[in-house]
């Protein structure tokens, strides 16, 4: 009976689909894929990092990080520097081109934020922010409840 919630949910899904397509095609123009862009973003926040650390931060297998870093090295976005004290490890490090990539992602984020929400009234913006925060809280509750139900394995 609560058609409002379902309508809102459908709009949210539609927005995420169109937004995702737009962001992905923008990345492609920089020579980046979504996964590689994510790694670049994380690297920008954490500074030069071991692949092991990246794997934990991004919650993926170390093997997967190897592949993403390979691609970023080929594209000139990062370099593998020798770790100063552990000869098994590398420090994945942003190159100048990598830093440019991060800068354009940041610019794109601002551009989209303004394009989508820049004209919103103060009241609507506050209400929408409340709705997003509320939804995130509920969603995290659901995820935790499901994890508890499944024995917390992962």
Partner DNA sequence: TATTGTTATACTCTATAACTATA
Partner DNA sequence: TATAGTTATAGAGTATAACAATA
- Which tokens belong to 34? 């979504």
Measured in residues, the chain has a length of: 154
Pairing between β-strand 78-82 and β-strand 90-94 as defined by DSSP bridges: antiparallel
* Spatial distance between the Cα atoms of 80 and 48, rounded to a whole number of angstroms: 9
34's contact among DNA, a second copy, none, with CB below 5 to 8 A by partner kind, is: DNA
Torsion of the alpha carbons at 137, 142, 148 and 151, rounded to the nearest 10: -130
Rule CB under 7 A: which of 125-144 touch DNA?
none
Q: Does 28 participate in binding a second copy (rule CB under 8 A)?
A: no
Q: How far is the CB of 91 from DNA (least distance, A)?
A: 7
Q: Interface residues with DNA (CB under 7 A)?
A: 33-36, 50-52, 59-69, 71, 80, 83, 85-90
Q: Interface residues with a second copy (CB under 8 A)?
A: 2, 4-12, 14-16, 18-22, 25, 109-110, 112-120, 122-125, 127-136, 138-140, 142-143, 146
């Amino acid at each position: 009976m609560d058609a409002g919630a379902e309508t809102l949910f459908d709009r949210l899904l539609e927005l995420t689909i169109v937004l995702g397509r737009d962001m992905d095609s923008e990345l492609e123009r920089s020579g980046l894929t979504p996964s590689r862009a994510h790694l670049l973003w994380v690297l920008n926040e954490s500074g030069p990092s071991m692949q092991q650390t990246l794997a934990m931060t991004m919650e993926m297998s170390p093997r997967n990080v190897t592949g993403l870093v390979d691609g970023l090295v080929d594209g000139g976005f990062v370099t593998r520097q020798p770790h100063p004290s552990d000869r098994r490890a590398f420090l994945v490090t942003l190159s100048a081109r990598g830093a440019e990539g991060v800068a354009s992602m940041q610019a794109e984020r601002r551009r989209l934020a303004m394009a989508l929400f820049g004209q919103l009234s103060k009241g609507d913006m506050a209400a929408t922010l409340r709705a997003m925060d509320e939804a995130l809280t509920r969603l995290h509750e659901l995820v935790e409840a499901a994890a508890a139900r499944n024995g917390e394995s992962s």
